[in-house]
Amino acid sequence: MSKFQHLLKKIRSIDETARQIEKWQMAQERVVFTNGCFDILHKGHVTYLAKAADFGTKLVIGLNSDASVKRQGKGEERPVNPEDARALLLAALEFVDGVVVFEDDTPRHIIQQLQPDVLVKGADYDPDETDPTSKKYIVGREELLLHGGVVKTVDLVDGFSTTSIIKKLQS
């Protein structure tokens, strides 16, 4: 298998990803899940994802579809890169084992379907926040905790965000 085919094999549908996670878990792998837009991949993203991967043995990324990113109100120009390009770049990271694009505004449904062992978000969220209206609330935490999973956070790298990169390019 070529290196490019290997990258493409990491990008799966939700159903394919659920089956793969089940196989990994049967083999005693600890599956970590995180999600985001990852529009312009930068140092903050790579650092965050590498640290998230350290919570288990397999890392799966839920990637917001183009339509989902647009609905988040991040700006007319977003996403800058289409979902297939964003998925390929994420799959190219050696510590990423799977990428799955999802259409919903939140990852709740995909977390229910995939049932990972660990859910990771940035430290701007709080794993103990139970109020779904709070900005610190982690969507999918209840679904994960119900089947014995754990929720973790990772410190963010100051000074790196897609929004700041876009502003810098525009100035």
Alpha-carbon span 142 to 129, nearest angstrom: 11
Element (H, E) at 33: strand 31-36
Percentage of the chain surpassing pLDDT 70?
93
Using the predicted structure, report yes or no on whether residue 167 has a pLDDT greater than 70: no
The predicted-structure confidence for 104-122, as pLDDT tens digits, reads as follows 999 999 999 999 999 999 9
Q: How far is CA 104 from CA 63, 68, 71, 107, 117, in A?
A: 10, 6, 10, 7, 21
Using the predicted structure, report yes or no on whether residue 168 has a pLDDT greater than 70: no
Please state the rounded mean pLDDT for residues 83-87. 97
Encode burial over 42-64: b for 16+ CB neighbours within 10 A, e otherwise.
bebbbebbebbbebbebbbbbbb
Q: How many domains does the chain have?
A: 1
The predicted-structure confidence for 2-19, as pLDDT tens digits, reads as follows 999 999 999 999 999 999
Query: What's the CATH number where 62 sits?
Result: 3.40.50.620
Q: Output the six-digit token pair for 106.
A: 């939140």
Instruction: Return phi, psi of residue 90, to 5°.
Output: -65, -40
Q: List the helix and strand counts (H, then E) for the chain.
A: 8, 5
Domain containing 64: what range? 3-170
pLDDT at position 166 is: 61
The predicted-structure confidence for 42-77, as pLDDT tens digits, reads as follows 889 999 999 999 999 999 999 999 999 989 877 778
